[in-house]
Each structure stands twice: as C-alpha cells, then as structure tokens.
Structure 1
Amino acid sequence: MSRRVVRQSKFRHIFGQPVKADQMYEDIRVSKLTWDSSFCAVNCKFLAIIVESSGGGAFIVLPLTKTGRVDKNHPTVSGHTAPVLDIDWCPHNDNVIASASDDSTIMVWQIPDYTPVRSITEPIVTLEGHSKRVGIITWHPSARNVLLSAGSDNMIIIWNVGTGEALITLDEMHSDLIYSICWNYNGSLITTTCKDKKLRVIDPRKQEIVASNFEEPIALQEMDTSNGVLLPFYDPDSSIVYLCGKGDSSIRYFEITSEAPYVHYLSTFSSKEPQRGMGFMPKRGLDVSKCEIARFYKLHERKCEPIVMTVPRKSDLFQDDLYPDTPGPEPALEADEWFAGQTADPILISLRDGYVPVKNRELKVTKKNILDNKPPTGPRRSYSSCETGFSKVSLEELMEEIKYLRATVESQEKRISSLENLLEEFANGTD
C-alpha cells in the first residue's frame, strides 16, 4: 500500500480563535457602503473603522485598549464632504493615518495618544489632484511620507506628504477602473489589478509597465466562496497569504514556497457571521509570548471582533523560527531620496523582547509656495522672522497660521480658566 506523504510545515496547525466578548469593540455603526475596501485599519496603538456619518464622511479611532461598548458620542475624524472609502495607517508613524474619499480628496490626520473630547476636523494636509472619487490609498513600505492613491479617474498619484505635492502621476496606464494596488517589499514597484482583467507590474519612477498580461498562472486555486471580493493579506515573514471574503464568514490561509506547486493550502478559520471588512495587525503589534503570528479585526454590522492566529508551542521561550526580524517604525529613506531614484529595504527590528510603541511624533508638513519660481538656496526661515516676505509664504498660508494660533490660544485660555477654578475649589476645601 502506498502512504501519502504529508508536506512538513511549522504552519500546518495554525489555530484561529476569536477573543472573549469583553475584548471586542461593541456598538459601532460600521459603514454600509458597498465599496470593496477593508473599512478597517489597525496598528500597534489604534483601531480605525469607517462608520456611518451624516453630512460627510467619517471614521472613528479607538485605542486598542478601549474595548467594550463604544459611546455613541465618541469623537470621530471627520473632514471629508462625502463618504470615506479607504483608510491606511502610516507604517513609520503610529499617530498618522490617511483617508480617501468620494469627494476626490485624500486627507492626512494626526491622532493624539489621548482620546480627544471633540471630533477631529482639521487634517494636517489635504491632497487634491484626482478628478473623481479616490478609493485606494497605501503608504510606501520604506520611504518616509510617500503615499500612493488611485481614483475612479483611472489615475494613480504618488504624493510627498511632507510637502503636499503630487510628484508622480500615472494617468495613461489603465483604461478602466483600478481594483487594487500594492507595493513590493522595498517599494520599487507596484502591482495593480484592473476592471479590464489585466494585472500590471509598474515601475512608478520610470513610469513604465515592466510586466502585464500574464498568459498562464504558476498556480491556480479554486475558491469555494461567495461572489464578494476577496481581501488578501500577505505576511512576508512567514510567506503566508490570508484570504478574507467580504460578505463571507471564512479566513483561508496558504503558504507560498519557491518550488512547485508554489501555493499550499493550510487551513480555514470559519465563524457564523459574515465579515463587512477586515483589519490586519502589523507583525510588531502581536503578542510573541503567546506564539501569535497574525491578528485580524473582523467587522460585523455593529461591532469589531479581534481574531487571533497562533502556532501552538509547548516552550515558553522566544520562537526564533516564527519571528524573524520584521519591519520596524523607522523609514529607510526620505521622500526626496526615493523620488530621486534610491531604493532600500525596510529597516528591520527584533521582536525577541516584544515591541513597545514609541510616543506621539508629529508629522510636519512644509508646503512649497507656488509663487516661488526658484527653489530656496538657503535654510528655510520661520514665518515669524521679520525678513520673511510674501515671496516666502502666501497670504492664504499666513491666514491659516493665524487661525491655528488663535484657536490654540483660545483653547489654552479655557484650559487655564478650568485649572484656576479647580485650584480654587481645592483651596476652599482645605480651609
């Protein structure tokens, strides 16, 4: 009799389990849009979810530790005039998130470590360049402040968020709606899928297609799933791809190898309720002491349910084979270096002692003045300098700066008054 040979893999027994009820996020008005994005983004500090909103588009941001019921008056992030279609956390700053909207704009937001009392309505920068809705945004994996967007105008724009400029525009490569986009590991290439049923590999800096119209796939996997879109999540550390069907109730996962047959089915995690969207935790946000190799944030109609994927191990020691060094929060390149042609892999960190998120770091945007015909030859001067003329800063920017400073002063005056009242109460209480 012949014996079936089972392929050896340390990931054959990945165990998926939802968290307990008190560790879920309840009573969230998850967006009911039929858009194909994940509606959810997560990092080591925060969970962001696109929600139902009147009078424009909005999403909420929750600290990961704020589980349980979400107050109906919880502050939102709301500045768009139409529904938010996609959100993505910056990989190099855990307090910065970008949002794309049906109003044709992209907004970049600074999220404080504390929970704000009021909704956040002022983005750090608004990026305008698309003529139709913007449905896809994704940050560069290794270069600081580089953001890619794609819209229903069949156009791809790559932005320098630090200056608010569109530095690369790809507007003639797709004749139909762009379905999805991803960067390669070092951010030198992008891959797109399109309504015209073509998959393109593009060098964005050379603005040319380097591969398209693949005739035969190296592997073909038939999926027993509904007609809903599949949300793929790839972990390069373990070479595992997870497929989450939107409107489905399953997460299927496969191991990718360099030898035929290349794609190996591992298992399926199934639950009773279908998912409206899905967030995927970066590797540095996982609990290595529990051999956790993936964590998903599954959106229901009114809640978000974390699902933990672990590889059972008997030892309590750090498992080197499960956790190779992984991309950390420091960028390998500045935006100008990447746009000039440099390429670098992400800077890796060890997870041996776990990862502690860094404190709030502000994203500074320095908009270049369109009135300047020549690039500045010396160091940039402060707006407060008496030598700063209108050739350095526009009247609109000055008015925005004055508006911001005035709002800051007013908020500080209220804070001072509140503290003085509190101090007076303490003084009266001790008499």
Structure 2
Amino acid sequence: QCLPPSSQPCHGVWQIPDYVPVRNMTEPVVTLEGHSKRVGILTWHPTARNVLLSAGGDNLVILWNVGTGEMLLRLDEVHTDLIYNACWNRNGSLLVTTCKDKHVRVIDPRKQQVVAEKSKPHQGARPVRAIFMADGKIFTTGFSRMSERQLALWDLKSFEEPIALQEMDTSNGVLLPFYDPDSSIVYLCGKGDSSIRYFEITDEPPYVHYLSTYSSKEPQRGMGFMPKRGLDVSKCEIARFFKLHERKCEPIAMTVPRKSDLFQDDLYPDTPGPEPALEADEWLSGKDAEPVLISLRDGYVPAKNRELKVCGGAPGGRRWGTPETTPPPPRVPALSSSCPCHAPLGCPGHCRPGSGGSLSRGSARRGWWLLGKCT
C-alpha cells in the first residue's frame, strides 16, 4: 500500500500490484477523512493489521482501521502546536511524538494519556525528531542553543537528563534518524546534506558510538529507507536508502564486506515480516504482541499474491474485505535502469564505494566494515 500525504484534509490508500500497471492509478481503495488541515505524517502500526496513524497541521493524531475506513482513536487534546514526527515502539503499545511547542511526549494512545514528557530536550529553536529504540530508549536529534546539531539518547526511567549527548556540526538541515533494530545502527540524514552518518547504539557507556560517514557530491532533497526484507542478503547488504535529487532517485546500499559466500547469521537475525501479530480490534481492546519474525536466510519471497477486495461502503471511505488470493496478470518487462553515473547497471569502475569505517567496540569484534555505494 502507498499513502502519499494530501493537500486536502483527507488521505487515500492505494493497493500497489506486484505487476507493472498498464495505466495510471487514480482512484484510492479507501479515502480517510478526519483532519481539517494538511496531513503530513503517516506511519503503520508495527504489529496490528491495517492500523494507521496520521497527524496533520491541525495538531491532531488520528488512528485508523484502513480495512474498514473507520476512525479508531482521535488524540485532540495532547499537542498544542504543529507535530513534527511520530514513532511507534517495537510492539506498538506506546507512541513518541515531537512538537513545535518543544516537548517530546510518550503517549499511550489507547488510554489517550501522556505517560512521559520532556520539555526542551534540545535547547535550540529548530525542530526536534525522536524515535524509539528496540529496548525502549528514545533517540532524539535537535539543535543546541548555539545552533549546533545534536543527538541524544534518553532512558524513560530517568527522563530528566540524557544518558548520552553529542554535538555534531553547525549545518542548518534537520537530522532525520533511520533506525535498524537488527544491527542497532542509527543512520542520520539531513535535508540539504550530501552525507549520511551512522552510529551504533549499545547498552554500555558511552552508548552512542560513531561509526563512519557516507559522502557524495550532491545534496539530498529527501531520503527513503528500504524495509529489511527488501535487501540483498547475498551481497551482505544491511541497509538501502533512496536519495531524492531534483530529477532522479538514487539507491544507496550499505554493505558489510565478507569473504565467505555463506549466509551471515550475525548480520541477519530474524527480522519483522509482513504478517501482523494482532487484528486491529485485538490491539484496540488492550492486547500487545511482539512482531512476527521471519528468516532472511534464503532472502524474502512473498508466499503468495495477496489482493484486498473492495466490498461495500463505510464511513469515511470504501470498505476493504478479507484478503483473497488471485493469480497475477502477466508481468510487463520493466524498463532498463542505469546507475547515477548514467552508465548501465553493473558497470565496472564508474560508481565507486563511498567512505567506510571499522565499527567501534562491540561491532569491531564482529569485524564489520560498512561501505556506501550506488547499486
């Protein structure tokens, strides 16, 4: 499914087929209406089927069941200003948000309560971003009083002071964190930057360890992050970004070179798969469950083609039925693509690896070495 933000106070859900469509897709499967201003944040629940979070310029957080098109929860008295970002914890029981009012809030959405709150985690006036770590800690990026970019790690048991705080540089771009819980690595990408910095998060002081920086010549206008099951395990690829330029989108792979061709168990522990652990009604009633894990030993291959059947109307949009299996239409050959250097894929010597570095402390014992390269 694809959910692009809309300039209208509603947003749509599209079903993207496995084959190459022969005509433009203009009608969403479901239209969700509830916001009064532009929707800027959309994020799926990590374990419950069809539960989607949306946040807009109206300072509202709304939880939807996109399988029925209905609104599950509406958090309208929590935020006093524009919401910058929202992130679920690993099992989807809590939510962390950052806001223009300079507060970081940890919210229990089902109780509609703020369970922890920190005012001014970073002293600067620029936007703050926050994400949950796998162990429940919170990682934030922001600016100091002197407009230096900062990163910090927080423990909810003692939310008054960060357990780790680092200053980086004086660039103006807001740092967007992307987190891989399998390798405990956080990648930091700033809009307007031409680099990606990455850090390992550990349980021992100083907790946040700088690893290395991938650098390129052109600044990024935006960045996307591939789910772990979409990576090429045969090439020891542990992360893939999609860097948005003015007129193109460049894939950037982060790899860990290994001499052996065998599957690398330490690089690819079992990772969350596409199957939900709970139904939306179960989660709403108070149940929690860890993500359903899958092995990437043979690479991720979808078990079958699943298509959602539209079956009648519902408030706020059309209703989805239960998934049914249908044979896919004949595949249309994809157009050939090329590297950012405009040479054919696989061209030797054109696209050089970016800068890499040996990982510190725990990772150094595993002998990891990350390289950035276009694929």
- TM-score, normalised with respect to structure 1: 0.62
How far apart, CA to CA, are the structure 2 residues paired with 1:183 and 1:369? 27
Higher helix share: 1
CA deviations 1:114-137 (Å, max 9, x no partner) are 222321111110000001111000
The answer to whether the aligner puts 1:204 opposite 2:115 as a matched pair is: no
2:12 to 107, 116, 119: 107
CA deviations 1:407-430 (Å, max 9, x no partner) are xxxxxxxxxxxxxxxxxxxxxxxx
How far apart, CA to CA, are the structure 2 residues paired with 1:99 and 1:365? 20
1:300 to 240, 245, 265: 245
How far apart, CA to CA, are the structure 2 residues paired with 1:397 and 1:138? 20
The answer to whether the aligner puts 1:157 opposite 2:62 as a matched pair is: yes
The answer to whether the aligner puts 1:216 opposite 2:161 as a matched pair is: yes
2:90 to 175, 185, 194: 185
Structure 2 residue matching 1:111: 3-state secondary structure: coil
2:232 to 271, 287, 309: 287
1:120 to 15, 25, 42: 25
CA deviations 1:291-322 (Å, max 9, x no partner) are 11111111111111111111121111111111
Report the alpha carbon displacement of residue 332 of structure 1 after superposing the two structures with TM: 0.6
Q: Does the CA contact (< 8 Å) of 2:68 and 2:318 recur in 1?
A: no
Q: Does the CA contact (< 8 Å) of 1:162 and 1:366 recur in 2?
A: no
Report the alpha carbon displacement of residue 360 of structure 1 after superposing the two structures with TM: 3.4
**Residues 167, 367 of structure 1: CA spacing in aligned structure 2 closer, same or farther, 3 A cutoff?**
farther
**Residues 208, 366 of structure 1: CA spacing in aligned structure 2 closer, same or farther, 3 A cutoff?**
farther
Report the alpha carbon displacement of residue 97 of structure 1 after superposing the two structures with TM: 1.7
The answer to whether the aligner puts 1:139 opposite 2:31 as a matched pair is: no
Which structure has more relative contact order (CA 8 Å, sep 6+)? It is 1
Q: Does the CA contact (< 8 Å) of 1:155 and 1:169 recur in 2?
A: yes
Higher strand share: 2
How far apart, CA to CA, are the structure 1 residues paired with 2:90 and 2:42? 17
The 5 Å alignment of 1:186-265 reads 186-213=91-118, 214-224=159-169, 226-265=171-210
Amino acid at match of 2:35: H
How far apart, CA to CA, are the structure 1 residues paired with 2:96 and 2:312? 30
Give the number of the structure whose alpha-carbon radius of gyration is greater: 1
Q: Does the CA contact (< 8 Å) of 2:46 and 2:91 recur in 1?
A: yes
**Residues 318, 274 of structure 1: CA spacing in aligned structure 2 closer, same or farther, 3 A cutoff?**
same
Amino acid at match of 2:193: D
Q: Does the CA contact (< 8 Å) of 2:96 and 2:106 recur in 1?
A: yes
1:341 to 273, 286, 301: 286
Structure 1 residue matching 2:250: 3-state secondary structure: strand
Q: Does the CA contact (< 8 Å) of 1:163 and 1:365 recur in 2?
A: no
How far apart, CA to CA, are the structure 2 residues paired with 1:150 and 1:225? 29
**Residues 366, 259 of structure 1: CA spacing in aligned structure 2 closer, same or farther, 3 A cutoff?**
farther
Report the alpha carbon displacement of residue 258 of structure 1 after superposing the two structures with TM: 1.4
Report the alpha carbon displacement of residue 161 of structure 1 after superposing the two structures with TM: 0.6
Instruction: State the Cα RMSD in Å.
Output: 1.8
Amino acid at match of 1:363: L
Report the alpha carbon displacement of residue 364 of structure 1 after superposing the two structures with TM: 4.0
Report the alpha carbon displacement of residue 366 of structure 1 after superposing the two structures with TM: 5.8
Report the alpha carbon displacement of residue 369 of structure 1 after superposing the two structures with TM: 5.6
Amino acid at match of 1:346: P
Structure 1 residue matching 2:283: 3-state secondary structure: helix
Q: Does the CA contact (< 8 Å) of 2:193 and 2:220 recur in 1?
A: yes
* Structure 1 gap segments, 5+ residues each: 1-95, 371-395, 399-431
How far apart, CA to CA, are the structure 2 residues paired with 1:329 and 1:175? 35
How far apart, CA to CA, are the structure 2 residues paired with 1:282 and 1:397? 28
The 5 Å alignment of 1:31-430 reads 96-213=1-118, 214-224=159-169, 226-364=171-309
**Residues 281, 241 of structure 1: CA spacing in aligned structure 2 closer, same or farther, 3 A cutoff?**
same
**Residues 104, 192 of structure 1: CA spacing in aligned structure 2 closer, same or farther, 3 A cutoff?**
same
* Structure 2 gap segments, 5+ residues each: 119-158, 320-375
Task: Report the identity percentage.
Answer: 79
Structure 2 residue matching 1:338: 3-state secondary structure: helix
Amino acid at match of 1:149: S
